[in-house]
């Protein structure tokens, strides 16, 4: 068993500020109140406030300019996909939009992989697919399944697809435990993914796209049922 993390006052303030930003209490483009009044309003020291600001600057929600103040960034206009895990924690509706991208990108990756995979990559896909069947427990099956998708992205020869795949999986992290539905039975999970790998290793572009669309649609339905 792992010890539960202990929240510090900085953690609590960071979460409060994040929620206030994402819910619009501090709108995009607006400047936050002066540090002293903001610290007093939250009942914390200015040092604590500065630490929380630093985290939110790193997260892409705030920007601080010396002598000017701290402004809320327009994350929908200026932010990147690295914000997705945080946004999913804030609002579960983001997961539906992530799944929409997962379907379109996943099908395209499978098609590209069928066209471009090397013999070494095809062999790697077969090995990783077998690992799905051999995994024990929903968590292990889910992680083994993810590795197949990472390998499919690598097989496209396009590193942007690899980064997009990583981004989508990172976006699942806050709710990953609730998305294990398709992976509770290793043999069934293997059977769903096998047609994708078979089509890719056969160089069948159209077949790979069809198989990926079927796999992605089916697993999405099961995962959304788990979230509900």
The mean per-residue pLDDT over the stretch 103-126 comes to 97
Which of 3-17, 132-146, 170-184 holds the top average pLDDT? Answer: 132-146
Question: Of 191, 188, 177, which is closest to residue 227 (Cα–Cα)?
Answer: 177
Residue-range domains of the chain with CATH: 9-78 (1.10.10.10), 82-227 (1.20.120.530)
% of the chain beyond a pLDDT of 90: 68
Q: What is the DSSP string of 12-72?
A: HHHHHHHHHHHTTSS-TTPBPPPHHHHHHHHT--HHHHHHHHHHHHHHTSEEEETTTEEEE
C-beta of residue 49 within 8 angstroms of C-beta of residue 75: no
**Residue 78 class from Cβ within 10 Å (0-12 exposed, 13-18 middle, 19+ buried)?**
exposed
Contact 46, 36 (CB under 8 A): yes
Q: In this predicted structure, which of 22-26, 125-129, 207-211 has the lowest mean pLDDT?
A: 22-26
Q: pLDDT at residue 221 above 80?
A: yes
Stated pTM of the model? 0.79
Q: Per-residue confidence at 32, pLDDT binned at 50, 70, 90?
A: very high
End-to-end CA distance of the chain: 28
Answer yes or no: are the C-beta atoms of 169 and 99 closer than 8 Å.
no
Tell the burial category of 18 from Cβ atoms under 10 Å away from its Cβ (0-12, 13-18, 19+). buried
What length does the chain have? Answer: 228
Q: What is the mean pLDDT of residues 5-33?
A: 88
- What is the C-alpha separation between 81 and 170, in angstroms, rounded? 10
pLDDT band at residue 5, thresholds of 50, 70 and 90? low
91 pLDDT band (50/70/90 cuts)?
confident
CB atoms < 10 A from the CB of 82, how many?
A: 12
pLDDT at 179: 87
């Amino acid at each position: 068993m792992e010890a539960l993390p202990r929240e510090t006052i900085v953690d609590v303030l960071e979460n409060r500020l994040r929620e206030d930003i994402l819910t619009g209490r501090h709108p995009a483009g607006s400047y936050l109140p002066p540090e002293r009044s903001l610290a007093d309003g939250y009942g914390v020291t200015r040092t604590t406030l500065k630490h929380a600001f630093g985290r939110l600057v790193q997260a892409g929600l705030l920007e601080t300019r010396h002598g000017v103040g701290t402004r809320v960034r327009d994350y929908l206009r200026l932010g990147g996909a690295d914000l997705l895990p945080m946004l999913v924690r804030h609002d579960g509706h983001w997961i539906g939009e992530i799944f929409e991208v997962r379907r379109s990108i996943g099908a395209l990756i499978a098609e590209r992989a069928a066209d471009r995979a090397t013999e070494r990559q095809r062999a790697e896909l077969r090995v990783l697919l077998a690992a799905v069947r051999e995994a024990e427990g929903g968590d292990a099956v889910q992680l083994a399944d993810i590795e197949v998708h990472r390998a499919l992205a690598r097989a496209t020869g396009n590193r942007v697809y690899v980064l997009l795949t990583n981004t989508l999986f990172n976006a699942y992290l806050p709710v990953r435990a609730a998305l294990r539905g398709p992976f509770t039975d290793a043999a069934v999970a293997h059977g769903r993914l096998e047609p994708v790998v078979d089509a890719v290793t056969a160089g069948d572009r159209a077949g790979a796209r069809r198989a990926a669309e079927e796999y992605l649609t089916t697993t999405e339905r099961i995962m959304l049922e788990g979230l509900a």
